[in-house]
Amino acid sequence: MDVRAQLVMVFNLDKCLGCHTCSIACKNIWTDRRGAEYMWWNNVETKPGAGYPKFWEDQKRYKGGWVLRGDKLKLRAFSKLSTLLNIFYQPHMPRLEDYYHPWTYDYAKLYESPEESDQPVAEPISLISGEKIDIEFGPNWDDDLGGSPLYAEEDINLDERRIVTNFGSIFMFYLPRICNHCLNPACVAACPQRAIYKRGEDGIVLVDQNTCRGWRFCVTACPYKKVYYNWNTGKSEKCIFCYPRTETAQANACAHSCVGRIRYVGVVLYDADRIEDALKVKDEELVEAQRKIILDPRDEMVRKAAKENGVPDNWLEAALKSPAYALIKEYELALPLHPEFRTMPMTFYIPPLSPVLAVHRAIHDVEEHEEVPDKNLLRVPVRYLSKLFAGGNERVVTEALERLVALRKYMRARNVGEQPDEDSLRKAGLDAESAEKLYRLLTIASYNERYAIPSLHREYLDVTPSEERRGGSGFGISIRPRGGQ
C-alpha cells in the first residue's frame, strides 16, 4: 500500500451564482500580464453550453486524455511515432479563436475625438496586435444560455438537443472549472521535455518554466484544456492551485473569494498502487473505482503507511477534518468531472438539484416526492449529469440526488416544527447525526470547516526538481522529509 496525500477541491453546484468572482480573483493574481491575456485558469461555464475553449469536451476533435486499448492505458493523441512527427506542430490543439481573441477598447477616442454631432465610440482593439477587431466570441459568450441554438445545442452531453430550445424543458446550471491536478495527468505523460511534474507532497501539478520548451504536447493531451501556451514567453502555463497560499494554510484565491461559498478544500489520502487498476475498468465503473482508492484517514494501518511514506502529522490531522473526504467518500455526494478521460481528476462536483417539470399535473418541488422523481421529470436530466460526472453511470448520480433530497426534506421538517421523516433519511444512507453534520457543511460551515488546509514547509523536504519529475507516467511520486520529520 503506497499511501499519499492530495489537496482536493469540491464544488457544490447547488450554490454557484455564476458571478465569476472566482475567475476575476484568479485573473488579477496570476494571468494579468502579457501573453496570458486569453488565459482563465479559473472559469465558470454555463451548462449546457460550448464552454471554454469551445467544445473542450469533444475528444474526437481535441484528442485529449487517455484511452484503454486492450489492458493498457494509452494517450489518445500520441504514440512514440506521432510524438516525433508532431514535435513542431500540434494538429489537435485549440486555436486562439476557440478560446477567444482578447480585446480592450480604444478609450482614448472618447476624450481625444474632436467636437462632432455624434457621440464618439471606443472601438474594440486586440490586446495582442493592437489592431481593430470584430468581436466574435468571448470566454462567457454563451453565459446564461446566451446563443443556445449555436452553442448549447452542440453540448456533447445532451442526448436530445432540442431540449435547450424548448421553453418547457430548458435548463441550466453553472460549472466552475480549474485544473484538476489529476492522479494520472495526461499533460505530465505527454511532455517530451518532462517540464510538467506532480508534486509528491501535495499532488499539485506544475510546469517548470526553466525546463519548458513550448512543444505544447501538454495543451493537446489535457482533456480539460487547462494548460495554456504563453505566446510571449514561449512557455506553457496552468493553474498552480495557489500553492504559495496553500503552503501557508490559506485557501486558494478562487475559493477565498467565492461569494456563494460553494468550494471546499481538504486533504485526501489515496493508495497510489491501485491507480492503474482503477483506471482499467469500464466507464460506468470509474467513479466507484476512484472512490475505492481514497482511504479512511482514521484507519491505523493507513496512517502508519502514510507516515512511512513521508506524510507529515499535520497533514494526517488535516485529513481527519477534511470536508473533501466527507463529501467524496463518507457521504458519496461529490463526483469527478468526466472520469472517462481516465486522468483521475482531483476536483469533485456535488450535482445540482433542480425543479421538476410540470407534466400532466402541477409538480414544482422535488420535496413533494418521497424519493427523487423519475429521471424524465427532472428539469436537469439525470442522464445529462451522469455523462458529465459519472462516465454514464446514472445510479451514482441518482444516489447523490436522493441524499440531497432526503436531507432537504428532513431539515425543512425540523426547522418548521414538523415530524422529520427519518425513513427517507435511512433509505438515502443517512441518519440524524450525519444529516446534522452534512447540513452544517453544505450551508453554514465556517471558514475553517470549509478549508482544512495544512501548512507545508518545503525547506524540510529532501527533494530535487529532477526527482520530482521522475517517472513521466503521471502517477506521481512520494517525497520523504529530511530527518524523518
Residue with cell 526538481: 465
Report yes or no: 265 and 255 within 8 Å, Cβ to Cβ: yes
Integer Cα distance of 380 and 153 in angstroms: 14
What number is the average pLDDT over the span 432-460?
Answer: 90
Taking only the tens place, the pLDDT of each residue in 309-327 is 999 999 999 999 999 999 9
Taking only the tens place, the pLDDT of each residue in 400-415 is 998 998 898 899 888 8
Report yes or no: 35 and 233 within 8 Å, Cβ to Cβ: yes
Q: Which of 314-318, 348-352, 419-423 has the lowest mean pLDDT?
A: 419-423
Integer Cα distance of 61 and 153 in angstroms: 17
pLDDT of residue 457: 63
Q: How far is CA 66 from the centre of its chain?
A: 17
Residue 271: strand pairing partners: 3
Burial class (CB in 10 A: 0-12, 13-18, 19+), 459: exposed
Q: Following DSSP, what letter does each residue of 223-252 receive, concatenated?
A: TT--EEEETTTTEEEE--TTHHHHTTTPPP
Integer Cα distance of 309 and 5 in angstroms: 10
pTM, to two decimals = 0.91
Q: What band does 365 get if pLDDT is binned at 50, 70 and 90?
A: low
Query: Quick one: cell of 457?
Result: 514547509
What number is the average pLDDT over the span 119-129?
Answer: 92
Domain boundaries, the chain: 260-450
- Kindly tell me if the per-residue pLDDT of 87 is higher than 90: no
Residue with cell 482508492: 293
- Helices 394-415 and 432-443 sit at what angle, rounded to 10 degrees? 90
Integer Cα distance of 43 and 130 in angstroms: 25
Report yes or no: 277 and 6 within 8 Å, Cβ to Cβ: no
pLDDT of residue 481: 35
Taking only the tens place, the pLDDT of each residue in 279-312 is 999 999 999 999 999 999 999 999 999 999 999 9
Give percent of the chain with pLDDT exceeding 70: 90
Integer Cα distance of 236 and 441 in angstroms: 37
Q: What band does 468 get if pLDDT is binned at 50, 70 and 90?
A: very low
What number is the average pLDDT over the span 129-133?
Answer: 92
Rg over alpha carbons for the chain, rounded to the nearest Å, is: 23
pLDDT of residue 377: 72
Q: What band does 160 get if pLDDT is binned at 50, 70 and 90?
A: confident
Residue 43: strand pairing partners: 177
Report yes or no: 178 and 9 within 8 Å, Cβ to Cβ: yes
Integer Cα distance of 254 and 251 in angstroms: 8
What number is the average pLDDT over the span 363-377?
Answer: 54
Report yes or no: 287 and 391 within 8 Å, Cβ to Cβ: yes
C-alpha distances in angstroms, 420 versus 1, 87, 297, 414, 431? Answer: 43, 63, 32, 6, 11
Report yes or no: 92 and 186 within 8 Å, Cβ to Cβ: no
Q: How many residues does the chain have?
A: 485
Specify the CATH number of the domain 260-450: 1.10.3650.10
- Kindly tell me if the per-residue pLDDT of 347 is higher than 90: yes
What number is the average pLDDT over the span 205-219?
Answer: 95
